[in-house]
A = this chain, B = another copy of it.
Amino acid sequence: MAKVLTSRAENYAQWYNDLVIKADLAENSAVRGCMVIKPYGYAIWEKMQRALDDMFKETGHQNAYFPLFIPKSFFSKEAAHVEGFAKECAVVTHYRLMNDPDGKGVVVDPDAKLEEELIVRPTSETIIWNTYRNWIQSYRDLPIKINQWANVVRWEMRTRLFLRTAEFLWQEGHTAHATKQEALEETETMLKVYAKFAEEWMAMPVVQGYKTESERFAGALETMTIEALMQDGKALQSGTSHFLGQNFAKAFDVTFTNQEGKIESVWATSWGVSTRLMGALVMSHSDDNGLVLPPKLAPIQVVIVPIYKKLEELDQINGVADKIVAELKQLGISVKYDNDDKRKPGWKFAEYELKGVPLRLAIGPRDLQNGTCELARRDTLTKEIVPLEGIGSKAVSLLADIQSNIFKKALDFREANTTVVDDYEEFKKLLDDKGGFFLCHWDGSAETEERVKNETKATIRCIPLEGPTEPGKCMVTGKPSARRVLFARSY
């Protein structure tokens, strides 16, 4: 069978795009920059949502829903926020269409112009803090820990499926606290939740850290981030958690009476991950044959394919397969038995490889005689003949093994592609030759950061929470550096 994907070595960007489309994850829509998330892709996103939502609730958050539209004037209230956000966005100016008086079709009714334009939310801090004003009077009303699952729109000029789209799906947490300390703790707690999700569910190792001032969210005092390394040596920012200080509370006049009876401004955080994680998932593990999905997020964890020549053989296999399906379902495994007679086994093998199904179980006439089946792992592409007796517990343990193996593989890759560099020329050379993460000394100035960015397209992904902490000299200017930071080119 012809390869359906461009290889990674040939053209990584093309491989990614081919894979997202061929594996039925998503496609471009008729609306510029907006994607259609197809059922198979959406099933993965639903699994992500469920896992994250459970973690949010375990950490004391509740879901709610705020309006899609934000009055234009709200964006002007927080100075940094308007600079960072309000520019490239979808603007609603009218609320009615009418039949075209000059012909067929419909046109915008000029009489139905809004007094104040509405912005389709690019993020919801402004409308939410405007709402919180009425919810918060006393310290007894705090904390408020709310999350929202929603669609947002940012008018991106160059879009790529999942990685950068005009509309995307995400969750945004917005919390309100009585003290700075509590808000800082919340910021960190949620970053840890994201890191745990990335590593334990997506099998994607991440570096946790603080963004530099220039890379912070518009309106934040601190932005924390998880950064993952993709197979092409570029970083992908996978989730951010922001300490917003009292900026939004002051902009929207949200105050409370503290325990001593004094009026204070409320402390805020916000944090989010989006369908961008789908892109990160694809680029972390997949290969030239297709997707490689971590079992915990795979819509189909085990596929069973019958191998037969005569329909009587299929009948016999059906009987055995039905029992296996029942046994696996009993164990909480999501399983599909594909006995569609219109497709050959070879086609099915390629299809489920492309779709990243972690385990494939094939049964032929000889297996029936021997009480065996062939088990193939998607991650290693290895096969073994195993007895049908005990297939359930075998599948459970293999799925766990695949989950940890692909995490380990990604971690090994990251370690092999994280370089400690002290010389700027060497940094530039290695950035081109090898890519990956670089741990380098930096003098802490925005000027140096900007210079590196302009000269190399690499940015400071974060000031890591862990890793080498010895002081040194900036690789660019030679000035003192408190500790190494993480540089990389990024998505």
Q: Are A94 and B95 in contact (CB under 8 A)?
A: no
Q: Are B65 and A36 in contact (CB under 8 A)?
A: yes
Assembled-state Cα–Cα distance A29/B105 (Å): 34
Is A93 located at the chain interface by the 8 A CB criterion? yes
Is A395 located at the chain interface by the 8 A CB criterion? no
Q: Are A96 and B92 in contact (CB under 8 A)?
A: no
- Each complex incorporates copies of this chain amounting to 2
Assembled-state Cα–Cα distance A37/B128 (Å): 12
Is A381 located at the chain interface by the 8 A CB criterion? no
Q: Which of A38-46, A224-232, A233-241 contacts B (4 or more CB under 8 A)?
A: A38-46
Q: Are B30 and A71 in contact (CB under 8 A)?
A: yes
Q: Given A63-B42, A67-B35, A167-B68, do A98 and B87 touch, yes or no (CB 8 Å)?
A: yes
Contact with B along A167-195 (1 / 0, CB 8 A): 10100000000000000000000000000
Q: Are A127 and B29 in contact (CB under 8 A)?
A: yes
Contact with B along A3-40 (1 / 0, CB 8 A): 00000000000000000000000010111001111110
**Selected contact of A91 from candidates B74, B75, B92, CB within 8 Å:** B92
What B residues does A67 contact at CB under 8 A? Answer: 29-31, 34-36, 167
Specify the chain B residue showing the minimal Cβ separation from A131.
B36
What B residues does A150 contact at CB under 8 A? Answer: 151
Q: Which of A117-125, A440-448, A454-462 contacts B (4 or more CB under 8 A)?
A: A117-125
Q: Which 5 A-B pairs have the closest CB atoms?
A: A34-B67, A39-B62, A37-B65, A76-B105, A91-B94
Can you report 24 A-B residue pairs in the complex whose CB atoms are below 8 A from each other?
A29-B127, A30-B74, A31-B69, A31-B118, A34-B67, A34-B69, A35-B67, A36-B64, A37-B65, A39-B64, A39-B146, A42-B64, A68-B120, A72-B106, A75-B97, A86-B106, A87-B98, A88-B95, A90-B92, A91-B93, A91-B108, A93-B93, A93-B108, A95-B155
